[in-house]
Chains A and B, each alone.
Chain A
């Protein structure tokens, strides 16, 4: 059985033989396509298993930031998402602790394991955001923190002797909590998201959605989507990073119909119809957190954890981090040319 089309022999001879002097690497010729399925089993597809095993051994990092005014249920939601006490609830404001004068950044890491997969989860809380009388520029400490993590990673990456695995503290996902007023977004919301959607993946969520009826919810979501669009705010999943048609159709549906997710969080369990469910008990009924007819928590959970977790990390690494790096290196004058060849590549020149 022969392989695909044969390149002209002369062409092959000229472009495939590498001259002995040090030159640019051999540019591979247009690859010849071979469908190995017809030729007997080779075993290339085992690489999937090999890769899976390796990644399970090394484990994963995931860093999620929650931003929103106090009392919107951020910590509860994160605990509900990860079904464990990963975020300390700040219910003690009115007693011992004062509301912080500026936005604080608190990052707490935990290791959680499921199905043989170990994950180091870091929850970054931002107490004090939007809580002052004058909230001007209260996103700045947050933006600073995010950029500091990129800077940390860049410094490690640029070392001569590098660590085998650079610890990743970059913020992969930022959940922004919108107050369920039912009207529209607040100026603070717009300002924050405008500034930060350029440096981090923002997922807007409507908090404490059990205060809205279904119609109110739909209308509010539509208004919020419209406002975000009008203000040019690209929340995750960003349109420009859809890789192929499949991604685009899937993400379009999420962007135009489901987001922002209207969620309810709870860490208490109740008995409903013989099952134990997470919920909130009210005089007029029990709101089941994981019931799709009650709220969209399950959608958010599936979106963030079960389908797009890896993508969140990849967009952070391949796009946001690269943007930061490019800007940083440009400001610094760039890296000097390695060989005379890079003089042509004026992007990496001084």
Chain B
């Protein structure tokens, strides 16, 4: 532990903080633990049986068929309880792995599944209001890779898949159904597998050897990889004890007999010694790598080209401003378009208005013309009437003159008329 310039100070009595690990552990126990195992292997290699055997129980599920169109993953979660420890165990199994004719893409669903769990955790971690301490961790802590007991070497599918997975998850390779191989063949097989893994640069999980209490056992176990396992949930009576075993006409294979297979070693390593280390490696190594790659992919850096440290905050600020700027630009563009449209519409309307005005003017003119015509006609008619009146007056004048000529008669007639209005004149 780095002291960073701190001195070690002696204690003059019992303080009591040696209970701190207990306090921490008690809190974790109250909280519960979770452990997620991924089983990758071809159909029929005994994945489900091995899980049943490891955890002493029969997990639900039916054997899968060989006719799956693609590789899928099946996940189930179980609550296990032992003394005061509550474990949320999630077992994910591949379904249909190795069954297709074209297996080029077989590894993809597996990688995507593992990445999806990292992604979920990352998203939770990046939330503003987050509940990390109550988060149900679904990240895969251990990947058991089931190798078919051909006795020869690894299949190319195995190599490709393991190469894709080794930087994302702790891989523990195991030889499945190893009762199909004889002891001598097994040793050769193991050596072949290990050398193939090394020559292809596949990083499998190494049991940690830095803690003295477990360094020795872990070191020995590292040499026994890959573990040759047999699974069985059937119990047989052997001697005077009931044991898990597989019975053949030529003898009985005992699962928990270390001379028969490495099952006990696997259980020791996976559960009883290194479960916590597997969880820690997943979080501090594989998850951090995923997170770093993902954030870098999105364009975030820790230092700018002048290698001055950038805070992620600043980068996000910058990106946010960029995003807002783009939004603004879009808004501007939309506004421009709107203004444009309005102008166009206005122009159209103006046109229509103009046309209407013209029409109105035309009609008005027409109307005026008509009116004028009518007035002219009226005038001419009036003139005629006047002319006629004149002629009439003239005619009357002539008539009256004519009458004056026969005037005395007229006078007389007038007198008579005066005296006798009823006398008619001509």
A residues whose Cβ falls under 8 Å from a Cβ of B: 1-3, 6-7, 9, 12, 16-26, 28-29, 31-37, 39-48, 50-60, 62, 81-86, 109-120, 155, 158-162, 164, 167, 243-244, 278, 301-302, 305-311, 314, 317-318, 322, 325-326, 329-330, 332-336, 338-339, 341-342, 345, 347-348, 350
Contact = CB atoms under 8 A, between A and B. Distances in A.
Interface of A is mostly: mixed
Contact of A24 (B72, B74, B120): B120
A60 to B, nearest CB: 6
Nearest to B6: A109
Instruction: Choose among A6, A19, A42, A333 the residue with the greatest number of B CB atoms under 10 Å from its CB.
Output: A42
Interface string B299-324: 01110000000011100110110011
Contacts of A7: 60
A76 B211 CA distance: 38
Interface residues of B, number: 110
Given A6-B60, A51-B276, A164-B284, A118 B1 contact: yes
Nearest to A115: B18
Contacts of A322: 129-130
A3 to B, nearest CB: 6
Contact of A3 (B78, B275, B294): B78
Interface in B30-75: 30, 33, 54-60, 62, 70-75
Contact of A18 (B17, B72, B213): B72
Contacts of A332: 313, 316-317
Contact of B76 (A1, A16, A117): A16
Given A29-B77, A56-B21, A332-B313, A39 B56 contact: yes
Contact of B27 (A50, A306, A314): A314
26 contacts: A1-B58, A18-B73, A20-B70, A26-B92, A29-B76, A36-B82, A45-B82, A45-B83, A45-B84, A52-B25, A54-B280, A110-B8, A114-B15, A114-B18, A117-B17, A117-B18, A160-B291, A160-B292, A161-B302, A305-B16, A306-B19, A309-B19, A310-B20, A314-B133, A326-B129, A333-B316
Contacts of A120: 1, 3, 6
B277 to A, nearest CB: 7
Contact of B83 (A21, A37, A109, A119): A37
B9 interface: yes
A9 to B, nearest CB: 8
B88 interface: yes
Contacts of A345: 123, 127
B292 A55 contact: no
Contacts of A159: 302, 312
